């Protein structure tokens, strides 16, 4: 029941019906909810360890998405590595949630994210998701006709391709090698030249003396972000294991969104918390190639298999 309802997003009603159809076992919807709570209680210590291991890693992906809980907007916060997944739910989206969930403030490595300001305020290194930049650049090129955006798309895509070539067949680029550093400098010089051209075509709207900052165009805002956080844009080519995008975290939020689409919302904060615990465990075990169903069977026998935290 937990595997179907929590991990595969089958509704509570349909999960109960399946128990009757498959096993001739009459099960109420309340029972489905109850066993999910039971599983979450058993797995809570393991998921706490998953969270601690995630923030001890060298590279960590972070994202957040809105979730309806008890008819109110809450936020699902996601931390992910290649082998670990941690989810938490909180009524707030930003710094207050980070402090309450008590994980991100501990992180000292490279945080990959979409550039949202509360992430940037964290005391760690940052890498911006270039998939976001490519989407924005594509809009500026196709919808608003900015030719420089096409040049930037080509440059970033080429840089990603070159980085992947260097890492092909398990070979890691020598980030301190003179040849590699020269290649990165050439790409960065072209990057700065494209930005200079873009800035000339899209000057900043000056202040008028009125309260607040003057509204800037989408192009101007993107140009400013690429310029001000250029080291974070290019970190995928300057530090080992830092990816070009934040796809790992974005993929992690997809199944919770499917769950919400099926259920409409979580009726209680306890239900949302239970889902986060179980989904964290199941996604982590899946990444590590462990049979999820067998793991849940062992969990309800009181001996949950532990993932690798290394």
Give residue limits of the domains in the chain: 2-126+249-300, 130-206+214-244
**DSSP states along the chain:** -HIIIIIS---HHHHHHHHHHHH-----HHHHHHHHHHHHHHHHHHHHHHHHHHHTSSEEEEEEEEEEETTEEEEEEEEE-SS-EEEEEES--SHHHHHHHT-GGG--SEEEE---HHHHTSSSEEEE-HHHHHHHHHHHHHHH--HHHHHHHHHHHHHHHHHHHHTGGGPPP-TT-HHHHHHHHHHHHHHHHHHHHHHHHSPPPPP-SSSSPPP--HHHHHHHHHHHTHHHHTGGGTSTT--SS-HHHHHHTHHHHHHHHHHSSBSSHHHHHHHHHHHHHHHHHHHTT--HHHHHHHHHTT-PPPPP--
Alpha-carbon Rg for the chain, nearest whole angstrom, is 23
Could you give the C-alpha distances from 183 to 61, 189, 194, in angstroms and in order? 27, 10, 17
How far is the C-alpha of 260 from the C-alpha of 19, rounded, in Å?
22
pLDDT tens readout for residues 170-201: 556 677 788 888 999 999 999 999 999 999 99
> Is the distance from CB of 112 to CB of 59 less than 8 angstroms?
yes
Other CB atoms within 10 Å distance of the CB of residue 228: 10
Residues in a beta bridge with 64:
77
Q: Which of 97, 94, 73 is nearest to 272 (CA)?
A: 73
**C-beta atoms surrounding 186 within 10 Å:** 10
Closest CA to 244 of 110, 108, 123, 79: 110
DSSP assignment of 240-255 equals TT--SS-HHHHHHTHH
Place of tokens 């890498």: 127
Its pTM stands at 0.92
Look at the block and give the residue holding tokens 């109420």.
28
What pairing do the DSSP bridges indicate for beta strands 110-113 and 125-128?
parallel
Residues lower than pLDDT 50 in the chain: none
Specify the residue for token string 């890691």.
Answer: 172
Nearest-angstrom CA–CA distance, 98 and 81: 18
Question: Residue 11 and residue 4: Cα distance in Å, rounded?
Answer: 8
**Residue 211: what pLDDT?**
77
């Amino acid at each position: 029941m937990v595997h179907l309802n929590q991990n595969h997003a089958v509704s509570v009603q349909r999960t109960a019906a399946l128990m009757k159809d498959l096993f001739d076992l009459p099960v109420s919807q309340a029972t489905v909810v109850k066993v999910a709570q039971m599983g979450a209680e058993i797995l809570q210590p393991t998921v706490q360890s998953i969270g601690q291991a995630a923030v001890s890693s060298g590279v960590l992906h972070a994202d957040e998405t809105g979730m309806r809980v008890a008819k109110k907007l809450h936020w699902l916060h996601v931390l992910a590595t290649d082998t670990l997944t941690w989810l938490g739910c909180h009524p707030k989206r930003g710094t207050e949630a980070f402090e309450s969930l008590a994980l991100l403030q501990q992180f000292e490595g490279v945080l990959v994210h979409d550039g949202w300001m509360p992430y940037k305020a964290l005391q760690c290194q940052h890498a911006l998701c270039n998939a976001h930049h490519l989407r924005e650049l594509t809009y500026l090129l196709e919808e608003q006709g900015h030719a420089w955006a096409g040049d930037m798309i080509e440059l970033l895509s080429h840089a990603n391709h070159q980085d992947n070539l260097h890492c092909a067949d398990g070979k890691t680029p020598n980030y301190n090698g003179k040849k590699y550093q020269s290649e990165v400098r050439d790409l960065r010089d072209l990057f700065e030249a494209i930005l200079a051209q873009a800035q000339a075509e899209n000057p900043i709207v000056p202040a008028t003396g009125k309260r607040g900052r003057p509204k800037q165009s989408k192009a101007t805002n993107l140009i400013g972000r690429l310029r001000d956080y250029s080291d974070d844009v290019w970190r995928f080519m300057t530090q080992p294991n830092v990816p070009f995008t934040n796809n790992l975290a974005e993929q992690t939020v997809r199944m919770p969104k499917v769950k919400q689409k099926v259920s409409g919302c979580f009726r209680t904060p306890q239900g949302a918390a239970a889902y986060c615990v179980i989904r964290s465990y199941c996604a982590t075990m899946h990444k590590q190639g462990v049979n999820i169903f067998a793991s849940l069977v062992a969990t309800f026998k009181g001996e949950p298999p532990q993932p690798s935290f290394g």
